[in-house]
Structure 1
Amino acid sequence: MNSYGEPQSSRARARVPGSANAAPDDDQSSYSASARPAPDAYRRGSAGRASVTPGRAAVGSAAPPPVGSARVGARASVGAAAPVRGTGAVARAAVRPGPSPVRPNDEGSIGGGGRPPGGKDKSKAAKRRRRTNILTAAAAVLVILLGAGVVGGTYFFDDVDLPSPVSEDQSNVILDTKGTVLAKLGEQNRTVVPEAQINKVVEHAVAAAEDKNFYKHHGIDMKGIVRAAWNNFTGGDQQGASTITQQYARHAADLKDISYNRKLREAVIARKMEGKYNKDQIMGMYLNYIYLGRGRYGIQAAAQGYFGKSVTTPAGQKNAITPYEAAVLASIIKQPEPTATHRGYDPTINPVDAKARWEYTMANMLEMGWISKEVYDKRKYPTVKKASTSSASKSTGSKPVDMIMRHVRAELAEMGISQQEFDKGGLTVTTTIDPVVQKAAEEAGSRKSESSPMHDKPATYQAAVIGIDPKTGRVLGYYGGDDATGIDYGGYMNSDTLKVDGGQSPGSTFKIYTLAAALKEDISFKTRWDGTKLRPNGKKISNAGADPGTVCKGQIKRCDLETATIKSYNFPFYWIADAIGRDKVIAAARDAGIQHMYTDGNKQFPNGKLVDLKKTDASVWKQDGYFDNEVAFGQYRVVPLEHAEGVATIVGGGVHHDAHFIRSVSRVDPDTGQKSIVGSEKIDGNKVFDADQMSNLQSVMKEIVEVDDRDLRNGQEGIAKSGTWEFNEGSGDTWFVGGMPQLAATVWVGGAKNKVELKESNGRDMFGAGTPSKIWKKFLDAVIKAKDLEREDFPKRVETGNPDSPFANGQAAPPPREPADNGGDCVLGFIGPDCNQNNNNGGGNGNGNGNGGNNGGDNNGGGDNNGGGNNGGDGDNNGGDGGNTDGGGGDNDGGGGTPEQQPTQPTLTPQNAGD
């Protein structure tokens, strides 16, 4: 006996899925609390069913045989009864597994009714059976009439409303641009399909397993009502004998309590449902609702999970569900998962009982004429897929791509798709993620990738890699960490609130916005700036320890903006912000795509205040405690994803597109099967910077790629800017940003969870032109190779701006020197083989490989991987380890402002988020 007080026969009725907190339909005294409960449901006995029709009650024609062995078709009429309104023939007899003869007039066949030939058995045994049946029928009729009367009374007088069909919760399917499933999100792994599209062999198999007379009765199982009444009267266990309609009625009405009253209400609702919906509609609702184990709800999810097929594929077509596979699915419904008393009918868990149940289903399909004798005779138990180790109802687990799901959920909310709609499921979300670009981002940025420059770095180091299409704003590749449930290092989006909760100091990479603001104010790259000028508070502007005598080839008081950009000196940018207004620098960053920026920590906000740049303006930005001129070279923390959006604006020639992860969202109508679009991307750009000014900036950024020896594959043009922000005595955040016309790329490397001093493998400080630039190049080269991209160039340079801008504060350029007449080949004093003597004091243009002059590079180590010289550093790794300083250069951001003013904020969320 099972925990429901009935034999665990393969012919018994299914438990019906319901609430996890709902009590089972029958007694659970022997149910183990430690066992995982399958969804609760009704069961029925296996010894046939009484049939009630207006004016007649039929209760079987023989003494009760052993459970499950009633002879098919046997029936005896017992007296005449008053018609019962709303009831119809609901007879059913259990059938042994195995073939049964199908006769043209057999009631079990599609053709119609009739009794088997041969006449009445006149033996003494037969007479005794008939007498027993008469007595049994008399008792049964009394109970049936009582039950029918209650049902009839309830039907007319009790306030029993017919519930609407339940809109079943489904999973939301998340796809990449190629249609590959990235994840399934939602509480239930269910895909609702219209009944009209379901292969009929599946419907017939389910009816054969659960309710073979489904297409004949009118929804009410009177025998179940009688048994419920009898057990209620005698104090026995409540037992179920529900039809498919009753099973669904219970689900639709959310009837969870175990009582005779509930059983009657269920019957009333079932009868009403049969009056409103046809059999196909009821079957469709049932099939989309039923639970079939392995976390799969609905027949479609089950077919995909057990056989990798769809129930909507028409019969006869490739990969259509076969009758044998349909019978397996139908046989699982009875008990999908193991309990304390039975192992269930999942064939991978309990193959013996699963096959016995399958034989029973197949026999009923033959009996009812739903398969031919030939199909039945050729039956062979099909191969079932093993259950996956991770639940199919959940997303892809802890893969890097799963971090994207946070951004998908956030964008769905922005599209007006509420959390309730999301939880209901049934959405198909096509993302912007290109699998080629995604793979390249993960392999370039993850420490787990053996080919990544991060592979040999400590576990306390972390990278983020973001690739955006500059022409549309689509995020094509996104690596924000390996732990899908951990910190989102690309977007700092909290997994619970879906709000920004962190950021990193961008260092010199923020200068691209300062330059965009300067170009907008008609400042030329030929303007000159004084590197000796002190701040208003009397402090120097740090240039990463560069010797003032070598800055700008000794022309520190008249350094041109182009050289300062390539060498990444800080002082011109500080004075640009001071001259045009730091609010204009912030506005340029906002227009490019940066929405959130943190202030420095203070007594009120120890971890800084998060400011929404789109909801505030200069009146806020210029207040005490917010932003100072150091904003011009990247002191204040930003979100890498938003920075990547801004970089894409520069790469795209000044046209801004919102960075986004969703291309389209659709939903299938469960009734019609028609797909409708409920959300879509907006890729119309907004021109925020002048195209000519951007060509000017892009051309300067091209020189940085060349100087840093980061030329791209196949000669593809690239533009870039490196950046570093200090932590303690070393580097805390390092960046390399830019891209090619086809793809904007942003790379950050910093501390995992908390800031750390970043070192290269040789023990030297890490700078943006070191490991981050290698990641950047590997990422873009991999995309070029995988996509076989043809070379695409940036627009030709248009030099804009006023070289004599009144904003500039440097000394005028010295007059050109007369060519020296030294009798040798030295044209204009600096062109020709005899001019080497002019480079002995540091005039060489180091390229990061130790090729500068005798005293090493242009700025004695102050440039971004531009140092060189005899002492040469290792430029390729540390960027600008120039000359006699033996590698103190880097991005020249070092401290940005003076060291004591630099933030040493933790990576995690400030205590108070801002405006």
Structure 2
Amino acid sequence: MGRADERRARQRGGHRAAPRRGRSQSTRAATASPSAPAGGKPPKGRIRRLFTWKKILGTFFGLVLLVIGAFVVLYMTIDIPAGNATAQMQSNIYKYSDGTVLARTGELNRESVDLAQVPKDVQHTFVAAENKTFYSDSGVDLKGTARGILNTLEGHGTQGGSTITQQYVKNYYLDQNQTVSRKLKELVISLKLDRQKSKDYILAGYINTSYYGRGAYGIQAAAQAYYRKDAKDLTVQEGAYLAALLQAPNQYDWALATDTGKKLAVARWNYVLDNMVKQHWLDPGKRQAMTFETPKAPKAAPGMKGETGYLVDAANSALYKQLVSQGDAASLGDAEALVKKGGWTITLNIDRKKQTQLERAVKEQLTSKLDAKQRSVDGDVQPGAASVDPTTGKVLAMYGGTDYFKHFTNNATRRDYQPASTFKPVILAAALDGGATTQDGRAITPNTIYDGTSGRQVVSGGAKVGFGPPNEDDQNYGPITVQTAMNQSVNSVFAQMGVDVGMDKVMATAGKLGMDTKGMEAVPAQTLGSMGASPLEMAGIYATLDNHGKKVTPAIIKSAEHKDRTVNLPDPIGDQVISRTAADTVTSVLTGVVDDGTANTSVASNPERNGQQVAGKTGTSDNNKSAWFTGYTPGLVTSVGLFGESAKTHAQVPLTGATGLITSGGGRVNGGSYPALIWAAYTFGAMGDVSRFDLDTTQGAAVQPTYTPTAPSTPSNTPSKTPTSKPPTSTPPSQPPTSKPPTSTPPSQPPTSTPPTKPPTTPPTGGVTGNPLDPGGGQNFGQ
């Protein structure tokens, strides 16, 4: 090999070129090589050379440079826009179902203040709550922004953190839309704003544009809304609460918060103050001495007088939930901000005529009789009602209270009072739908005999469970049918029935029918309706029964229109949640409550009834703190509740003695009195033509068994004998029901089932194993 060949060999690989081999040598070498792949494929070394570390790193750095280049372009092309938050605020228009305007809202409740007018300690509460590095950072949180963009791309909404600067940019320069482009703009504008403006300028903008709930934008409006004072007079404790509110204005507002919400609000308040100590902005000794102070009750906004404010708030709440559900807002707070910006036309399902009729019924039957100056208890009476069409789910009328200006809480949607015996039909529905039996194997039907002895200890598996609720006025009924027990609202019967069915199954049925059972324990005390529920919620449950077991979710919004987004409202009518036979049998039984039971005087005997068939149930809670009547016709379901709420402290108090009522019950306001009277006055004026239930049941309409049970002569450990005649079959009975709907003249005969004068000395057994008495559960009077 010459020098030129050697030089070329070194350039190719640094080695001398191998001498050429003959054809036979090449063939032998190829045959002998163990690494040569079959079929003439390239060796693995060639594939590896395609993905070397140099190439991977080169690709990575190329992408990084590409992203940096794109960001530089964005930075060069995106300028800080003019603030548009105020300019975009518009009115919202609320309409009745017929298109008549109900209200216009949207005046912006904001008054900007200079940062110098806000105490330094209060300024620090916001920094401690939202962005501890605010005074030293560059205005952005790259990690949080990247997480937010990733969550947005994955459809999870914004779950990443943001700096105070970024939140101010979102509030004032951009909007609440959850898009990648908005997040990128937010990032660029925040960087530029931090370079061009002082930290005090940014902090002032942030606390003046943020939404604090109660319609308050900015710290000055919030200080007035929650503490009735100017921002300059806020204490550090009050500032910490306002700063905490920004995370969840609806959830943390003390006037609206659930027990869980209040705990979270206090925890957030503590978090803010503890962070201030860590940042050396608050003395540890002073922090230790600080206690949470409850903010003041809210005031109604102008133009929301009377029932209008309750209707608008209920519609807004439903819209917030739907915006979150369909992904237009990441939280209820974001949804509220979207709605408060205005531009909405919201049409309610409220029927203007029925709304007027409901308001008139409450006034004529109750509020016109209240005189707080003469009787202090009259000032503690809070009525609420909701009326629903069971075939469409539309909320046709709602009564939230005497005046939105005077009482902010909507009594139609509040869930802090016990529904009491209006829960009993749910127990029966669970029994019928699940084919439940007593412990000795007898099917639970309207004709099943139970022991109605007051205070009778509930039995499970042959052992007492430590729960024996008294009946109203401690009355003993002895062996009675389930039908009579429902008519007379006998606690001891339904306490045992709940255990027989299984309280887990009872609560599951309650959930299927429409009750919010989250956090509720499946314990025997729940048979007394010791949980919380609202009139709107109870109206939905009974509407599902009226709709033959097909789920009805009350809907207050008919439509919600906005130029920037579409709201798709769910169908209020859902799937079959219990069998038609079970639902219709409960309806049949509840006609007996009206014709032969606790609602007979107020409803059945009403001269306006005109033969209308009615089903319903009364309820009176522990210590007379609430009284209910929830009833229905084939086309209208209405739940009326009266709640004892102290006018001074807002604590739950008894209704006893309201309106000067003096009865054999000691002045007790029970479900068969004012709630039933209001229900009848409204329903018989609003129902239209007289109608009858179309029931798919062998029970008929509250037909009593031919056998009337009596007290056994000899005590027994087993239940009394079953009726000698079986319930009628699907063929209508030859005899009419023992309880006919009365005409305008009250019935002269008493109910067909008279409680026996002497109860059995030994109660029947029954039930399945269950949890013992709920320690927090209360008793109720049954009616």
Return the structure number with greater helix share. Answer: 2
- Normalised by the length of structure 1, the TM-score is 0.42
**Larger Rg belongs to:** 1
- The answer to which structure, 1 or 2, has the higher relative contact order (CA under 8 A, 6+ apart) is 2
